Structure formats: C-alpha cells, structure tokens
Amino acid sequence: MTEPTTTPTGPRPATPPAAPDADAGSTVDANVDAEANVDASTAPAPTSTSPTTRHLWTRSRGLLIGLGILLAGATTLAVLRSDALHGALDPRSADPNGSRAVAELLADRGVSTRVVTTLAAARAAAAPDTTLLVASPDLLTLRQQSRLHEAVTAGGGRTVLVAPGTWSVETLAPGVTADPAASRSTTLAPGCALPAARRAGSADTGGVRYSTTHLDVDECYPSNRLATLVRIPATPTPPTGTETGTGTDTAAPTRTPGSGDTIVLGAPDILLNDHLDQHGNASLALQLLGTRPHLVWYLPSLTDSSAAAPHEQRDLFDLLPSGWLWGTLQLLVAAVLAALWRARRFGPLVPERLPVAIRASETTEGRARLYRKADARDRAATALRSTTRTRLAPLVGVPVPRAHTPEVLVPALSAHLHGDGHSLHTLLFGPPPADDRALTALADHLDALEREVRRP
C-alpha cells in the first residue's frame, strides 16, 4: 500500500498559495467533484501505487543474497561429497578411491570380476570357484549378515570382508572381535606364516584391529599385538567312523587347503587405485582375490529390499539416516531459542521521553509505513479526514469542536466553495477506501480541497 502523503496528526508545512484560477466562476475543485471544472494548475500530481523495481530489490536483496550463499554452499558440499564418495571401492571406477586397477590386473590373470549390489545376488554367487568380496559389511543389517554368512558357509568359496567393524564382524566371521582402537600405523610388516603375506611383504593394512578365539587362524600384519589381517580356514569336515572288528575307528577331521576360508581385512587401502602401487599392496591384493577364477564384488546398497524384515512397514522417517534426524532436532531447538530471544514482551505501555526531536515528516512517514504494513486503510483514511476537517473548520468559520459534525461543516464548506454538499460529505465523511489506489486518490483529493479553501 502506498504511503499517504498527508500528515495524519502532526503540523503540516506551509503551502505557497496557488495562482488565481483563470475562470473565476469555477470554484469547486475537480478532485473534490468530478463534475466540477477547476484550473489544471491546482490539480495534484498523480501518485504511483505500484512498487518500483528498485524498491523491491531494496526490500528483498538481503533474503536473496542469503539464499544464494546457502545454495552455493550446498552445491559445493554436494560436489565435494560426490567427488569423495563416487566409486569408493568400486571395481568399475577409476577414481582414486575406486578399485578398477586391481580388477584390470585380475582380468589379465584370467579372473573375471562381477559387481552385485543385492543380497540375493551375493548369496547366489557363493560357490567353491568364487571369491566373494564384501566392500562395506557394516552397511548390512543383522538379518542380512546372518543370511550372507549361511550362504558363504554352504558355498565353500573364499569370502573377503573389507574393514568390518564390531557391528558385522562377529556375525560374518564368528570368533573374531574388532578392537575399538584403530591402528596408528598404516604400513605394517607381515609377521605371520601366511604365504601370500610373506611374498607381498609390507602392505597398507593398518586400520581396524582384530582378535580371535580360533586356534588355527593366520593373524598377519600385527599392530600392538593385534592383527589387521586374519585368515580363518575352512570348517573341517566332520569326522566319519569306520567299524572294525570290535569297535569303531574315528578318522581325523579333513580340511581342503585354501577352500571355504574367510579373510578379514582391516583397511581397504590395498584395493584402492591410489595405493595399489605402494609397498606390497598389489601383490597382496592379487593373491587374496585371485585364488579362484571368479570374483564377485558385493557393494551393499541402502536401497536393497532385503534390508527390511518381511512384512515390515517402513515410513519416511525410517528411511532417513539418524544424522538427519538429529540435525533437524538441533535446528528445531535453535529455532525455539531464537523465537524466545526475539519474542515480544507484552506488558503495559510505558511513556518514554525521546532523546531527540523528530521531524514531523519523519513521524508521518513512519506512521504511514505502519499503516501500510498492517494493511489498515480504514485507519489511515480516518486519520487523513480527521486532520483535514480540523484544519478546514477555522477557515470557514466553524469552531474546531464542531469540525467533525457533518451537519455543521459540510454546509459551511458548500457555501464557501459554492459547490455540491454531497460530494464534500462523501469526501470528508465517506466510507473507507477499498484499495491502495483509492486511498492515494483520497489523500490527493483532500489536499486539493484544502488548497481550494485556502485560495484567496
């Protein structure tokens, strides 16, 4: 709503008298009555009610700049995270964190590599001639871990678990426990009799450290007496008994060397493109993954339907990571605190002496802005009409206390202007304007009426 230009309550600056009208017989202002004729020199300049482009920019530039900064920051973070996470441990990715190099080296040695992203595909791939690599075991639910362990145990192939934590290692590799404290060293010496480790030499296996209750496992690359690479051999075949003359002879458990074993690897560095050519990483990776003609690379996905329990109904909040929920809660608490900090303290009005004198025009402009913000056209129109009546009454011989009585003020103005009293009554005592344009027109008409009455 456009701000009224007439002072509602304060003193009005003196207005220089207008030039005499060329037509002396025309005394009623055209802005007061559309049917009356007045001199064009007395008509006020039209006031625009539409905000300008500069005004809109001034009011919204702070919000737009803030939104631009927020959007730029979000885009930057998304790009950085996509660069960091894209292709991580993916044998199809040539990024520094990808594993395409080791897949190409295995292909040169006749080992085929296939990527799967679902538990069903990983279970179906478990076979004696297959090495199953689980890239991120901690992404699997307990139900997925149990089903995967059952499949690889029955399949009889090799399973390689890459940096499993406490959440998954105890289910996928029973008897192995992850130590909460990670290894401080990344490059470690073999320190075991495992042929693959001895041939590879030092490698970047430092990461999660493991302890085990098994007695016949290979614990390699120790860090502070805990291994960062553990090989659990295949489960021995149950003993079989053969009857002899008077009793039963029990055969010793049999084990197929190198089949059905599980490798627990404390860090993924030996598989990454950026680290493959360092130390003995390439040799160790090729020996661990190249013992069978087929390699199935399992990249667990959060969208895998097997992550949900059967007949489990999951809503939107179940699909959101816990970090987002905690972040939203923190933002909500911050918003509540900010609201309490900036909230109005309601109480009785207290008069306060202003430390400085304020110009009447500034007071008028501030009050008009408040009317505009509150969309209070009726109160603005009432203030304009009341002030105009108060100033016009002494000019036509009406006492100020009677200035707000239509039966007294309107006839006196009509006699002074020789005009139509009905138009004056509508202008000074009429209904509130319907929109901003009508309010602006009302202010212009009141100014024109006062100039006409003050004209000599």
Q: pLDDT tens digits for 151-189? A: 988 888 899 999 998 888 888 988 899 988 777 778 899
pTM over 0.95: no
* pLDDT tens per residue across span 3-30: 444 444 444 444 444 444 434 333 334 3
Q: What is the pLDDT of residue 17?
A: 41
Q: What is the pLDDT of residue 446?
A: 92
Are residue 129 and residue 277 in the same domain, yes or no? yes
Domain membership of residue 128 (yes or no) is yes
Domain count of the fold of the chain: 2
Calculate the average pLDDT of the chain: 78
CA dist., res. 360 & res. 356, Å (int): 13
Are residue 266 and residue 385 in the same domain, yes or no? no
Whole-Å CA distances, 153 to 126, 278, 366, 447: 9, 33, 81, 96
Q: What is the pLDDT of residue 25?
A: 39
Listed residues 292, 307, 322: the one ending a domain: 307
Q: What is the pLDDT of residue 64?
A: 84
pLDDT-derived band of residue 220, with 50, 70 and 90 as boundaries? very high
Are residue 409 and residue 295 in the same domain, yes or no? no
Q: What is the pLDDT of residue 35?
A: 38
What percentage of residues in the chain have a pLDDT greater than 90?
23
Are residue 409 and residue 296 in the same domain, yes or no? no
Are residue 381 and residue 297 in the same domain, yes or no? no
pLDDT-derived band of residue 249, with 50, 70 and 90 as boundaries? very low
Q: What is the pLDDT of residue 320?
A: 63
Average pLDDT over residues 286-308: 84
Are residue 388 and residue 275 in the same domain, yes or no? no
CA dist., res. 229 & res. 188, Å (int): 10
Domain membership of residue 424 (yes or no) is yes
Q: Which residues of 439-450 are buried (b: 16+ CB within 10 A; e: fewer)?
A: bbbbbbbbbbbb
Are residue 95 and residue 222 in the same domain, yes or no? yes
Q: What is the pLDDT of residue 96?
A: 86
297's enclosing H/E stretch is strand 294-298
Listed residues 279, 307, 335: the one ending a domain: 307
Are residue 383 and residue 269 in the same domain, yes or no? no
pLDDT-derived band of residue 107, with 50, 70 and 90 as boundaries? very high
Q: What is the pLDDT of residue 257?
A: 41
CA dist., res. 302 & res. 309, Å (int): 14
Domain membership of residue 325 (yes or no) is no
Q: What is the DSSP string of 59-71?
A: HHHHHHHHHHHHH
pLDDT-derived band of residue 241, with 50, 70 and 90 as boundaries? very low
pLDDT-derived band of residue 317, with 50, 70 and 90 as boundaries? low
Domain membership of residue 352 (yes or no) is no
Q: What is the pLDDT of residue 166?
A: 87
Domain membership of residue 148 (yes or no) is yes
Q: What is the DSSP string of 36-88?
A: S---GGGSPPP---SPPHHHHHHHHHHHHHHHHHHHHHHHHHHHHHHHHHTTT
Are residue 101 and residue 184 in the same domain, yes or no? yes
Range of the domain at 367: 360-454
Higher-scoring residue by pLDDT: 319, 99: 99
CA dist., res. 67 & res. 75, Å (int): 12
296's enclosing H/E stretch is strand 294-298
Average pLDDT over residues 345-367: 79
Listed residues 307, 331, 346: the one ending a domain: 307
Are residue 142 and residue 218 in the same domain, yes or no? yes
Q: What phi and psi, each to the nearest 5 degrees, are found at residue 265?
A: -105, 125
Q: What is the pLDDT of residue 316?
A: 64
Domain membership of residue 136 (yes or no) is yes
Average pLDDT over residues 118-140: 90
Q: Which of 23-27, 147-151, 241-245 is predicted most confidently?
A: 147-151
Domain membership of residue 183 (yes or no) is yes
Residue 304 has pLDDT above 70, yes or no: yes
pLDDT-derived band of residue 134, with 50, 70 and 90 as boundaries? very high
Residue 426 burial (CB < 10 Å; 0-12/13-18/19+)?
middle
Average pLDDT over residues 232-254: 48
pLDDT-derived band of residue 214, with 50, 70 and 90 as boundaries? confident
Q: What letter represents residue 414's amino acid?
A: S
Are residue 442 and residue 293 in the same domain, yes or no? no
Residue 55 has pLDDT above 70, yes or no: yes
Residue 339 has pLDDT above 90, yes or no: no
Domain membership of residue 315 (yes or no) is no
Are residue 287 and residue 410 in the same domain, yes or no? no
Q: What is the pLDDT of residue 350?
A: 77
* The token pair that represents 277 in the structure block: 């050519």
159's enclosing H/E stretch is strand 158-162
